[in-house]
Amino acid sequence: MHSSREGEDMELQQLYRELGVEYDLVETPYTFGKHAFSFLSVIDSYALLDRISPEEFVKDEQMPYWAEIWPSAITLSTFIADELSLAGKRVIEIGAGVAMVSVVAAWKGGSVLATDYSLEALRFARYNAMKNRVNLQCERLDWRLVQCSEQFDLLLAADVLYERVNLLPIVNAIDKLLKPGGAAYIADPRRRMAEQFLELAEENNFAITPFARKYSGGSKDVAVNIYKMTRKPENP
């Protein structure tokens, strides 16, 4: 056991060195459920824009949103730590970024798959899982074309409702990834885009329960809604 922990520590240090060569890093402490966590992210995500070639942008229009920890992720992590029971649950996060939400969900006892379209993000997710001593699977997932055949008890997502073109693909991804009787929790800082997303979700047979929350850890408070999505009962 001791040698295994030493091996994990060496792997963690090596991954930190590799990421440090490529990014300006910041490691920030957080507390969820009275438990201390630490998360690695990028100091300035806008500095990563220069890495995106015009060809890549035309293909995917992918911005480096994954590199920051957003208020919605912190709020959803608090909600998970304080209000959800995940023991024995199979959980997926889409758009995981540096995987704060996934790490907290794994700490709460969930068997968690953290997914993101960005392979860069998944390296940070793996680091943060090791740093916080939780087991986490990490895989690439494109919510426009979900090729994961597994279905999950819970789906989590924070701050993914920022492009209109993504709204219906996200609804369809949730529908494909959730088990019958499963639930999705989507955190969003009350963007107007969320209203369109909720309309699409209801049109696609989902019932919505909102939870109003507030993030108070930054320079100004941010209102965050967490939307619980469950499938409506089939008509007899």
Whether residue 62 contacts residue 52, with contact meaning beta carbons closer than 8 Å, is answered with: yes
pLDDT digits (tens, 9 = 90+) for 172-209: 999 999 999 999 999 999 988 999 999 999 999 999 99
Mean pLDDT of 149-160: 97
- Locate all alpha helices (DSSP H) within the chain, ordered by sequence: 2-22, 54-60, 71-83, 100-107, 119-131, 164-177, 192-203
**pLDDT value at 63 more than 70:** no
pLDDT digits (tens, 9 = 90+) for 70-97: 999 999 999 999 999 999 999 999 999 9
pLDDT digits (tens, 9 = 90+) for 101-147: 999 999 999 999 999 999 999 999 999 999 999 999 999 999 999 99
Domains of the chain from N-terminus onward: 2-231 (3.40.50.150)
| The token pair that represents 36 in the structure block | 């201390």
Whether residue 179 contacts residue 153, with contact meaning beta carbons closer than 8 Å, is answered with: yes
**pLDDT value at 57 more than 70:** no
